[in-house]
Amino acid sequence: MKASPWLCTLLATLALSALPLRAEEISVAVAANFTAPMKLIAAEFEKESGHQVLASFGSTGKFYAQIKNGAPFDVLLTADDETPPRLVQEGAAVAGTTMTYAIGKLVLWSAQAGLVDGAGAVLKTGTFAHLSLADPKLAPYGAAGIATMKALGLYSALQPKVVTAENISQAYQFVRSGNAELGFVALSQVLHDGKVEGSAWLVPSTLYSPLRQDAVVLEHGRNKPAALALMKYLQGERAKAIIRSFGYELP
């Protein structure tokens, strides 16, 4: 049976009303440790909102420098809670939009089963040649790795074995490829379906400063409804479920 013109018009109107008045494309800078969850969150957000997310992944320090040099990002998801308020203070981000979206966890990880024990004693034995670590000047997880070694009194002994990566993704790749036997990475990178591949030590949070990861709307995204919509979505139950599934805690 052929639908009437009136019914066709009504259906079209209802379909349009389910989408934003104007779908937007937003550019989002994301801390590398949050790569996997962000890809899932962005896909869900795009389906539900009609907006499109162009995500770039890298170190928080590099994104800060790029934003200060005029990079046209609309939203920033960092690996710390210091960069967003700093950008607000410097006029590069929108006041009142900062929020903590996840609390990260540091692990000492090896792709080799049995190499890393559950207490991290392998660091004391030193039976390895290379220890991968994200650049502590640019990546909070790298700084957390340094803090851990110092808290254990092992930094001086281990420093010659440290292989510095540009960001946490590269630190993971060094270990994954075998170029480093083990390294400090984010739990989210090695947790798959609730299990850790290889061997790992979940570093006690008492050994490093909390990895509170904050997000903020940048000046470039001030007048973009999609930027605020993404921030709201990150606080919703669907996004929270995804974040938890990768081993993060929530504030």
DSSP 88-126: HHTTSB-TT--EEEEEE-EEEEESSTTTS-TT-THHHHT
Q: What is the pLDDT of residue 16?
A: 42
**Cα–Cα nearest to 98, from 232, 213, 217:** 217
φ/ψ (deg, to 5) at 24: -120, 160
Confidence of residue 6 (pLDDT cuts 50, 70, 90): very low
Confidence of residue 21 (pLDDT cuts 50, 70, 90): low
Q: What letter does residue 192 receive in the DSSP assignment?
A: E
- Report yes or no: 66 and 73 within 8 Å, Cβ to Cβ: yes
Same fold across 25-103+211-245 and 106-202: yes
CATH number of 106-202: 3.40.190.10
CA Rg, the chain, in Å?
21
Integer Cα distance of 61 and 75 in angstroms: 15
pLDDT higher than 60, residue 1: no
Structural tokens at position 96: 């009142």
- When pLDDT is averaged across residues 193-202 and rounded to a whole number, the result is 92
φ/ψ (deg, to 5) at 138: -115, -25
The correct answer on CATH 3.40.190.10 for the domain covering 25-103+211-245 is yes
Domain residue spans in the chain?
A: 25-103+211-245, 106-202
